[in-house]
Amino acid sequence: MQIDIFLFGMLIANFLMVAAKRISALINGFCLQALLLFLATLILAIRSKNIELYIVAFLLFLLKVVLVPYFLRRIVKRIKVEENLGLFVNSALSLFLVLIFTYMAYLFASTFMPVGESVNGISCVISLSVMMTGVFMMISRIKALTQIIGLLVIENGLFVFAAAVSGGMPFIVEIAIFFDVFVCVIILGIFVYRINRLFTHIDVNKLRNLKG
């Protein structure tokens, strides 16, 4: 029961993120979502008394709640980019779209997953909705940093989805995914610096030298 509350929290964090107009608000939203994901995993670990789950929860906290937001905030400070995210789709419409995503997730889950038997319905729907929101954020915001956060949000969704349908991925795979995600964020961060230095902006819609 408690886990469901945290999952609903993740959905709310989703809405917070798409409604955000400034980079710092977006990072805070992501931080909140990661924190709720960590708490949900921790409760699962305490319940099942599984050492591996404790480690996963700990890594989740370290990476997504502490290191990644710290790293992103540092980038924002260092490159002195303007706070505005640059929305292709305004906040109100974005919120509405995320609502539609959630409904689509519900339809998908109720059609293809035998919800109730082996699959946790709520976490399944929420994870799909989180994934779609991540993709949506990547394509509807101008600043390159949003694409990094979008990728991380997709990964959050995948994590919950794996837990919902099959009780989580095997331990070693989970660790490998964490490692990849972390390296990916670092590399993308470095490229954000480079883009800022070469173009003096980080607006992805202006990256269009290569065509055809």
Choose the binding region for other proteins from 32-40, 72-80, 93-101, 198-206 (rule: CB under 8 A).
198-206
Build a one-symbol-per-residue string for 113-152: x at contacts with other proteins by CB under 8 A, - elsewhere: -----xx-----------x---x--x-----x--x---x-
**Closer residue to other proteins, CB minimum distance, 70 or 167:** 167
**Closer residue to other proteins, CB minimum distance, 20 or 144:** 144
Choose the binding region for other proteins from 16-24, 61-69, 76-84, 187-195 (rule: CB under 8 A).
187-195
**Closer residue to other proteins, CB minimum distance, 95 or 135:** 135
**Closer residue to other proteins, CB minimum distance, 90 or 118:** 118
Size of the site for other proteins (CB under 8 A): 39
Closest C-alpha to 130, from 172, 163, 167: 163
Distance between CA atoms of residues 101 and 139, nearest Å:
15
* Residues in contact with other proteins by the rule CB under 8 A: 112, 118-119, 131, 135, 138, 144, 147, 151, 154-155, 158, 161-162, 165-167, 169-170, 172-173, 176-177, 179-180, 183-184, 187-188, 191, 194-195, 198-199, 204, 207, 209-210, 212
